[in-house]
Structure 1
Amino acid sequence: MTRPGGRWQNWGRCEQVRPQRVEYPTTVAAVRRSVQSAAARGLQLKAVGSGHSFSGVAVAPGVLLELADLSGLVSVDRERRRVRLLAGTKLHRIPALLAPYGLAMQNLGDIDRQSISGAVSTGTHGTGARFGGIATQVVAATLVTADGELLTVDETHNADLLPAVALGLGALGVLVDVTLQCVPRFVLHAVERPEPVDAVVADLADRAAAADHFEFYWFPHTDLALTKTDTRLPESAPRHRLPAVGKWVDETLLANGLFRATCAAGTVAPPIVPRVNRLATRLTGDREYSDVSAAVFTQRRGVRFREMEYALPVEHLAAAFDELRTLVVERGWRISFPVEVRVAAGDGLWLSTATGRATGYIAVHRYWREDPTEYFAAVEQIMLRHDGRPHWGKMHGLDAAQLRERYPRFDDFTALRDWLDPSRMFRNPYLDRVLGG
């Protein structure tokens, strides 16, 4: 948490601010009072989840609302498999909240440290050609608007606003609760293995379509892809969990401890990076196991980094990835962090990166002590040539004029923003850039 008078910074250490005020609401009523108080003082206000966005979407120069204590399960509709959660509830706590009811979230990303409100508001997603991002699981929400009033959005109240409110960038108000459409608890069978990257890319469309969940990582300067294929099974299916010692070696010693050391070494001795990456592909990513869904979807990420991710029409995914590989070779860069490739179903949310089209994602990363500017800018140009849309919670260089061309409902969203927040209480520099002032 941010202490009053202190400095807030995000997890990636690429955004920071010293807010004028910091408040810690524990109830919806307290959020309303905070908004009304900020309005009376003429201050802007932003709610903050876990700080896992790499963009400036959560930067709060005026009043910063820490929502960590606005957390927990509000209600469960067993018959319709719906759960209502307070906005600050962390993703990693949700499986335990749902387990007594035999429920699970339909899909998750590979990191679960975010708050549910932050995850849906920025378009966090997992992988799977038949599954949308986390915001597509939202069937109702409650928002505190700029006048401190509650706006309920569900099947019977303001239903037409759900495609905007479910993924609203924090620009429409403060989300205080969301209702998720859940599914019966299930098991995932995971197969992780290294494969020749050329073969994986050549067969990418079929691989993604055939699997429930498919993704791969490519370490630059290698010819292997670390693939992960997950198959959904009923909860009653046998589970073959990873042995505790083996899991610790893979996920703590190698994937975090050793990787952190090699990334740090690569910043002072870049020529070692290709050899280290080739070693990494031999030591990791070759295992098979099954467990409850959340334990398979998510991974612990202990090495700090910065990230840019672009969403592309899925039919452009392989070509864009090949151009990225060529770019790294031509520029002679030494990139220690892998490139991540995933897929998702299209949806109808106004500002979703997957709106209106089946989507592939390419994410690039750099160790947090390395300057990502040149690498990210060059990759961004490739993604833009392939009709890419940047992830709202990741680093990118686009502004409102460029984004308007990429989102058919962009003007509808900004018109709704004009109606709900005419005084721009919820603005910040990032939102001014991507939505206009």
Structure 2
Amino acid sequence: MASDIWQNWAGTQRASPRQWATPRNTRELAALVVEAATRGWHVKAVGAGHSFTGAAVTDGVLVSLDNFSGIESITPTDDGALVTVLAGTRLRALNEALWQRGYAMTNLGDIDAQSLAGALGTGTHGTGAAFGGLATQIHGLEIVTADGAIVTASADQNPELFEAARIGLGAIGIITKVTLACSPRFTLRAIEKPDTLSHILDTLDDECRTVDHFEFYWFPHTDRVLTKRNTRLPGDTPLKPVSAIRTFVEDEFMSNTLFEGVNRIATLAPAAIPTINQISSRLLGAREFTDRSYRVFASPRRVKFKEMEYAVPVEHVKDLLHEINQWLQRTGTNVAFPVEVRFAAADDLWLSTANGRDTAYVAVHQYHRRSETEYFAAVEAMAKAVDGRPHWGKMHNRTIDDLRPTYAKLDNFIAVRDKYDADRVFDNDYLRQVLGA
């Protein structure tokens, strides 16, 4: 109903669409798009609502792809398989289904609640200096365009549409299925342990070169970090997962229930945050375990937060972290959430945050009950100064005018958009911000 209100997971975006739709198949979706365009209404597809930006917000028709779920086909290859997946499939379900068939996503982010199309369309990535973001795994796709056409695209078929739609921000059309290049299933040996920020920054180059998937979390107002080193092993490696009791204590109670309580206290008494961070950073002990790849990559996140993430050339990440630390000290701003740092290989996707350069990702968070405005604005200015690129699905204030210089193919993308959606059926405020009117 038109009076119903949609909001995203973090509560940072809300919408009151004229119509909600859950089409049963691609033909129904195409007809819905044509009807909306005839009425002059906008159309947006929504997945799990895990984007912090307004990527899915619309005043027209809000389309759920929940009926577009599951694996359609698998074609084995010499190094894995080409797997065609319906676009509304949640990553959590896809990971399990792939494993049962002997395959796995080559890399993943640390949250698995998103729909496949939503994760791909906003440039979701994991970590690992030799690995690209999720969209680099796309081999082909099917997309419903503004005129209701159902178009197949790949490097050989409609190549410009393929290039634009791999990270398309929902601006080109509604993706209905994706063919992914998947790996044979593999396990990960995870080593998680505390360290110091100063030591990690001194050894960062070696960590990125020698560890398959390296990341760390820095606790502001301390020199303490939690490191995560994941090493790829064959799929038949014996599993040694974290025990059920330890999983509950560390992943559920400490990382979610206790962390929620800590942030509520921090909201009431911000001056206590530096002490809280000192204590929190020492509560997390070392652990080592081996499990299915997707179980190691992703972890539950139940504490609501707001997030901004910037992709910077990897050679600038150390200076950026030092600048953030100095700004916190200089301004007296207290932040309870750790700063997350991850890495990715350069790629050639038009709107990828790692386009053309090896990349470090610096993600800053704020508890949803606290203001993030000054903190995020300061970090954004620092990142922008070193040609940082904002994650398309996370909070930022960038516009087309200052994004164009950092994306050599942005005008190519806009030209493809003009071709396939000249009337801007899939437009909204966020797209006008980052792609222009």
Give me the whole-angstrom Cα distance separating, in 2, the residues matched to 1:40 and 1:162: 26
Task: Give the counterpart of 1:10 among 8, 11, 18.
Answer: 8
User: 1:237 is matched by which residue type in structure 2?
Assistant: T
Aligned counterpart, 1:217 = 217
**TM-score normalised by structure 2 residue count:** 0.98
Aligned counterpart, 2:191 = 191
1:161 positional shift: 3.2
SS at match of 1:81: strand
Unaligned runs of 5+ residues in structure 2 are none
Give me the whole-angstrom Cα distance separating, in 2, the residues matched to 1:104 and 1:43: 39
**TM-score normalised by structure 1 residue count:** 0.98
Quick check: 1:239 aligned with 2:275? Answer: no
SS at match of 2:406: coil
Structure 1 stretch displaced more, 24-33 or 135-144: 24-33
Give me the whole-angstrom Cα distance separating, in 2, the residues matched to 1:4 and 1:30: 20
Could you list the per-position Cα deviations for residues 180-205 of structure 1 after superposition, in whole angstroms to 9, with x for gaps in the alignment? 10000001001000001101012212
Could you list the per-position Cα deviations for residues 215-270 of structure 1 after superposition, in whole angstroms to 9, with x for gaps in the alignment? 00011111111000000000122221111101110011100000001101111111
SS at match of 1:240: coil
Contact 1:202 1:318 in 2 (8 A): no
Quick check: 1:26 aligned with 2:24? Answer: yes
Contact 1:73 1:85 in 2 (8 A): yes
Aligned counterpart, 1:175 = 175
Quick check: 1:384 aligned with 2:384? Answer: yes
Aligned counterpart, 1:206 = 206
Aligned counterpart, 1:325 = 325
Give aligned-pair identity as a percent.
46
Contact 1:227 1:285 in 2 (8 A): no
Give me the whole-angstrom Cα distance separating, in 2, the residues matched to 1:386 and 1:286: 34
SS at match of 1:232: strand
Give me the whole-angstrom Cα distance separating, in 1, the residues matched to 2:261 and 2:286: 22
Give me the whole-angstrom Cα distance separating, in 2, the residues matched to 1:59 and 1:275: 39
**Structural RMSD (CA):** 1.1
1:285 positional shift: 4.9
User: Post-superposition, which runs of at least 4 consecutive aligned residues in structure 1 deviate over 6 A?
Assistant: none
Contact 1:143 1:177 in 2 (8 A): yes
Give me the whole-angstrom Cα distance separating, in 2, the residues matched to 1:26 and 1:303: 33
Task: Give the counterpart of 2:55 among 44, 54, 57.
Answer: 57
Could you list the per-position Cα deviations for residues 94-133 of structure 1 after superposition, in whole angstroms to 9, with x for gaps in the alignment? 1221123210000000001000000000000000000000
- Residue correspondence of structure 1 range 10-409 to structure 2 within 5 A: 10-79=8-77, 81-409=81-409
Give me the whole-angstrom Cα distance separating, in 2, the residues matched to 1:182 and 1:401: 37
SS at match of 1:142: strand
Give me the whole-angstrom Cα distance separating, in 2, the residues matched to 1:277 and 1:285: 15
Contact 2:414 2:435 in 1 (8 A): yes
Give me the whole-angstrom Cα distance separating, in 1, the residues matched to 2:356 and 2:388: 13
Contact 1:5 1:21 in 2 (8 A): no
Contact 1:68 1:88 in 2 (8 A): yes
Give me the whole-angstrom Cα distance separating, in 2, the residues matched to 1:286 and 1:6: 46
Give me the whole-angstrom Cα distance separating, in 2, the residues matched to 1:181 and 1:142: 15
Could you list the per-position Cα deviations for residues 294-345 of structure 1 after superposition, in whole angstroms to 9, with x for gaps in the alignment? 0000000010000000000111111111111111111101101110000000
1:162 positional shift: 2.2
Could you list the per-position Cα deviations for residues 123-170 of structure 1 after superposition, in whole angstroms to 9, with x for gaps in the alignment? 000000000000111110011000000111124411343221111000
Aligned counterpart, 1:423 = 423
Unaligned runs of 5+ residues in structure 1 are none
Contact 1:70 1:89 in 2 (8 A): yes
Contact 1:5 1:22 in 2 (8 A): no
Could you list the per-position Cα deviations for residues 392-420 of structure 1 after superposition, in whole angstroms to 9, with x for gaps in the alignment? 00000110011101100010000110001
Give me the whole-angstrom Cα distance separating, in 2, the residues matched to 1:189 and 1:331: 40
Could you list the per-position Cα deviations for residues 32-65 of structure 1 after superposition, in whole angstroms to 9, with x for gaps in the alignment? 1110110111101000011000011111111100
Aligned residues: 435
